[in-house]
Structure 1
C-alpha cells in the first residue's frame, strides 16, 4: 500500500489534503447548497462541510457508504459540537447518512446540487463502474459531479509497486483497478456526452523530486462534470433500498427578530467593543483590536488598522479607536443573526452615532 511517501519523499501538503482542498474549491466556485458524498467513508469531507465558514450556504448534506463501521465514525465526526450551540448558524443544516450499495439507485439521494465521488470507483468491480455514471448523471442529475481516482501512470514514481512489469501492484490492496489518464478521460467523456454534461480534467499531487523526469501527469486525476443541458425526466427512480443510518440536524438561529431599537442597541455595543480598547500608554505601541472569541470571527484583516489615540487624563489610560469596515462588521456571526441581511445592517448603521465605519 502506498501512503504519503515515495522513495523517501513525501507530498507536501499530504495528498489527501490536496484532494480535499481541490474538492472544496470546486464546491465554493459553484456556490452549491446541497452536497452528497458518494462513498463518504469516515466523514473526512462531510465533517469539514459542516463548518459554516467552509462553504457558504450549505443546508443539506448526504453521505452514502457500504460500511457500517465507516458510517459510525462518519456520524461521530459530523455531530454538532458545543461551539455549534454557542454560535448558532444563520441557516439550518441537515445531514442524512445512508448505508447501501453505491451501484444501486435510491430516490432519496436525488436532488443534490453537487455529488462528490472521491477515490471510490477504483474500489469497485468493472461491471459496477459501468453503472456509476448512469446512476449519478441520469438518475440523480446533479448540477455538478466531482470524481477523483488514482492515475496509474504516476505509479512509476513508487518503485515498490513495480509499475509496468509482470509483478505490478496497485496502490491499495482493495483497489480492483487503476486507470491511465486516457482510460479515465474516455470513461468521463462518454458519460458526459451521453447525459448532457461537460467534462473538465484536473491533476492533483506531484512529488517535488519525482523518480522519473518524463510527463506522467499527477498522482490523482480528477474530472468535474457540469450540467450543460436541461435535465431529462427521471425514470424508474421509485425505490428506497438503502438503510437510513443517521439523521443529524445542526442547531441554527431561528428566533424571531429583535425589536429594531433593541437590535440597534446591541449592534452599537458590538461595534463599540470592536473599535475601542483601553490600554496604558506603555502598551500603546502594541495596541490592536480587542476581538471577542465568542463572535466566531471568520475573517480577520491581514493587519490591524492604524489607531487614533484619545487621551483620558483622569484614568491615566489611553483609548485606542480603530476603524472597521462594513465587511468587518458583517463578518461577525452575531451581527448577521441580528440583521439577517446586508440591507438591514446598512439601515441600522445609518441610525448609529459611530462615524468610524466605512460604508
Structure 2
C-alpha cells in the first residue's frame, strides 16, 4: 500500500513496533532501513499472522548483500491496548490504516498505551481521508466494512492536537495519494500524522510481562564488525587497490615501445577515488601514510611509483569474498564516485507497482 512508503524514517530508529500489522506488508520497507535492528509486528488476528509469517524470513539477496547492522523481526499475537515487556523502549510506533478499525473506547485505550505507557520518540499514524471518498464511484460510504469511523481532515487534525495536548507531543500532518488536479479541495487519499515526543528521555512505566504470544521470528545475516585498527585497514586497502590498478595495466609485451615498463605511476588522486580509502583519510594524510609505509612517490608527490610485477598478490584474501571491483573512471574521480565491491541490485521501476499492492 502507498501508505507504507511514507514511513521511511529520517531519524536514527533502531527498534520499531507496528500495531495492527495485519498481513505484515510493512516489513518489506522497514527491513531496508539501515539503522533499524528490531522490527516487532503486532496484530490480534492470529490466523492472518500465521498465513503471512513467511514474509519476515530473509530473502536470498539478504545473504548475498548483508546488512551492516543486525536485524531481528518478531510477529506477536496481541492487543494494542496491552504493554508487553518485549516492546518496551521502542524508538518508533506505526499504526498504518489501523485506528479506523477501533471503537472509540478502544481507541482511547490504545492512545494511552502508545503515547503514555510506551512513549516512543516517534509515532506515525495514517487513516483514510473521508473527504476523498466522494471521488470513488457509487454512493459515498466507508472504504471497508470493518471501519468504525472515517475522519475528515479537520476531525483527524483535532484528534491529533488533542493527543499532543494530553501527552506532551508535537505533531505535523501530511498525506498520501494526490487527488486529481481538478479535485485538490478534497485533499489526500489517506492522511498522516507524525508525532514527536517533546521529552524523549522520560521514564517508561512497568510492563505487564510477556502478554503477547510469539507467532514467528527471524534473524537476518549481517556483516561482522571490523576488528582491525583504522591504520591496519588503510594499509590493506591501499595494498589491495594498488594491485587492482596494476592488474588493469597492459602487460609488458604490449608495452615494447614504452621505456621503463618495470614500474608504473599511479596518481594519488586515483587512489582517493576509492571510497574505502577516502573515508579513512584525506589526500594529504594519504601521502604521509604512503611515505611512512615505504612507498615511493614522485618528486612532486602527485604519483605513487610501484614495480610492475608479473603477478600480483591477493593479500590474504582481502575483499576476496566480495567479488571483483570496477575501476573508477576519470569522471567518477572528479565527483568522488563510490567504488564499492558489490552493489545491491536496483529496483525495476516497471515492476515497482507490485510493491504497493
1:329 matched to which residue of 2? 275
Shift of 1:82: 3.1
Instruction: Report 1:266-285 matches (<5 A).
Output: 267-268=237-238, 271=241
Cα pair distance change 1:216/1:95, threshold 3 Å: same
Flag structure 1 segments of 5+ consecutive residues without an equivalent: 1-15, 164-168, 279-309
Q: How many Å separate the matches in 2 of 1:144 and 1:189?
A: 15
Deviations 1:234-291 (A, max 9, x none): 345333321122232222233663588985565347646886885xxxxxxxxxxxxx
Report if the CA contact (8 A) 2:18-2:95 is conserved: yes
- Among 209, 213, 223, which residue is 1:239 paired with? 209
Report if the CA contact (8 A) 1:47-1:74 is conserved: no
Q: How many Å separate the matches in 2 of 1:273 and 1:43?
A: 47
Instruction: Report 1:150-299 matches (<5 A).
Output: 150-160=128-138, 162-163=139-140, 169-208=141-180, 213=183, 215-229=185-199, 232-235=202-205, 237-254=207-224, 257=227, 263-264=233-234, 267-268=237-238, 271=241
Report if the CA contact (8 A) 1:110-1:141 is conserved: no
TM-score when normalising by structure 2: 0.68
Instruction: Report 1:45-60 matches (<5 A).
Output: 45-51=26-32, 55-60=33-38
1:71 matched to which residue of 2? 49
- Among 52, 60, 64, which residue is 1:82 paired with? 60
Cα pair distance change 1:324/1:65, threshold 3 Å: farther
Q: How many Å separate the matches in 1 of 2:282 and 2:61?
A: 25
2:353 matched to which residue of 1? none
Deviations 1:276-335 (A, max 9, x none): 885xxxxxxxxxxxxxxxxxxxxxxxxxxxxxxx7667348xx9x9977868624xxxx9
1:297 matched to which residue of 2? none
Q: How many Å separate the matches in 1 of 2:75 and 2:117?
A: 19
Report if the CA contact (8 A) 1:50-1:78 is conserved: no
SS of corresponding position for 2:185: coil
Cα pair distance change 1:275/1:208, threshold 3 Å: farther
Cα pair distance change 1:114/1:267, threshold 3 Å: same
Cα pair distance change 1:324/1:129, threshold 3 Å: farther
Report which stretch shifted further, 74-83 or 108-117. Answer: 74-83
Shift of 1:130: 1.6
Cα pair distance change 1:252/1:205, threshold 3 Å: same
Cα pair distance change 1:200/1:268, threshold 3 Å: same
Q: How many Å separate the matches in 1 of 2:193 and 2:137?
A: 27
Q: How many Å separate the matches in 1 of 2:27 and 2:223?
A: 21
Flag structure 2 segments of 5+ consecutive residues without an equivalent: 256-263, 296-302, 305-327, 337-357
Instruction: Report 1:15-30 matches (<5 A).
Output: 16-17=1-2, 19-24=3-8, 27=9, 29-30=10-11
Q: How many Å separate the matches in 2 of 1:95 and 1:39?
A: 15
Shift of 1:186: 1.3
Cα pair distance change 1:79/1:276, threshold 3 Å: farther
- Among 90, 105, 114, which residue is 1:136 paired with? 114
1:118 aligns with 2:92: no
